[in-house]
Structure 1
Amino acid sequence: MFPGMLREAPKEPLSPKWRLVLRVVGFVGVCVLIAKCADLADMPENNRLS
């Protein structure tokens, strides 16, 4: 056995509840960003994104 195997596992910095909240907020934020900016990326004559 290796010496590190006997140590306790490190505690997670965020509880599972807060990790779920952050994932949902991030997912919704990305969805809103895509919904608002998707039409800009579809127009080839628009050079602001390139």
Structure 2
Amino acid sequence: MAREVVELRVHGVSGAGAEQVLDRPNVRQVAGDRSGGFYRPRPGYPDTTGA
């Protein structure tokens, strides 16, 4: 049986941006505003930064 994994990361405490926290160089905001947003990787870009 396959298990689905959900990961939730919260940023902003240390001033890190969504790109740093998600370890993705190309993200887009899909909900929220500048104070609190929900970000996803942009389609067509690699999954990780390779770091």
TM-score by length of 2: 0.19
Larger proportion of helix: 1
Find the structure with the greater CA-based Rg: 1
TM-score by length of 1: 0.19
